[in-house]
Chain A
Amino acid sequence: GAGVSQSPSNKVTEKGKDVELRCDPISGHTALYWYRQSLGQGLEFLIYFQGNSAPDKSGLPSDRFSAERTGGSVSTLTIQRTQQEDSAVYLCASSLVGIQYFGPGTRLLVL
């Protein structure tokens, strides 16, 4: 079956621009997660959606980061006024019970 998909696969932007990253979870998965993987560092949790509950935003590094999940399915992570330190791989994962399945990631480069 189809796995988690993310788009775009690569994004190059200029400092100060806004970017939107998209995640399509596995069909039927109620939980959706965003993580960030910086060069040489482990995966860092950003935000978590579970069904219709309020999202857990405790991992968002600043108010420039936001995310939404529409219709309990597709999610969009938005980074406003991008900075060079935002350059990283942004990974999305979805789960039904326990195990998180990851997408291929979006590689973001801020020049």
Chain B
Amino acid sequence: EDQVTQSPEALRLQEGESSSLNCSYTVSGLRGLFWYRQDPGKGPEFLFTLYSAGEEKEKERLKATLTKKESFLHITAPKPEDSATYLCAVSLDTGRRALTFGSGTRLQVQP
């Protein structure tokens, strides 16, 4: 069964304290891996998509990496405005276009 697991469930950081969020996946065939950010009461906001092992993408304080079994979202020197839930999702090469989501990591960055 295709599965996406995110850890930790929740993470509290001090402003400037770098850390990483993990997304491990067990799927029959990966087409792409997506990271989204979701603020309370809003829909997910697209951050990155990764397609092959070794690929990296960066945007401001965020950097996403991909291996054959997992992806990491590295947050460097976070700020309070980075507080949100970060969602990982995969699309499969079966032709099905729907995303399979993990349950998310709730990040809180304290000033």
Chain A residues proximal to chain B, CB less than 8 Å: 4, 31, 33, 35, 40-45, 48, 50, 56, 58-59, 91, 93, 95, 98-105
- Docked Cα-Cα span, A26 to B49, in Å, equals 19
Knowing A43-B44, A99-B49, say if A31 contacts B103 (CB, 8 Å). Answer: no
On whether the beta carbons of B45 and A102 are closer than 8 Å, the reply is yes
Question: Which of A40, A100, A104, A105 is B99 in contact with, Cβ under 8 Å?
Answer: A100
On whether the beta carbons of A101 and B98 are closer than 8 Å, the reply is no
Task: Give the number of residues in B that approach A within 8 Å (Cβ atoms).
Answer: 23
On whether the beta carbons of B96 and A43 are closer than 8 Å, the reply is no
CB nearest neighbor in A for B99: A100
Question: Which of A4, A42, A58 is B87 in contact with, Cβ under 8 Å?
Answer: A42
Question: Which of A48, A56, A102 is B44 in contact with, Cβ under 8 Å?
Answer: A102
Cβ of B78 within 8 Å of any chain A Cβ, yes or no, is: no
Contact with A along B1-41 (1 / 0, CB 8 A): 00010000000000000000000000000001010100001
On whether the beta carbons of A48 and B103 are closer than 8 Å, the reply is no
Most buried by A among B87, B89, B98, B103: B98
Please give, as numbers and ranges, the residues of chain B lying within 8 Å of A31 by CB-CB distance.
Answer: 97
CB nearest neighbor in B for A104: B43
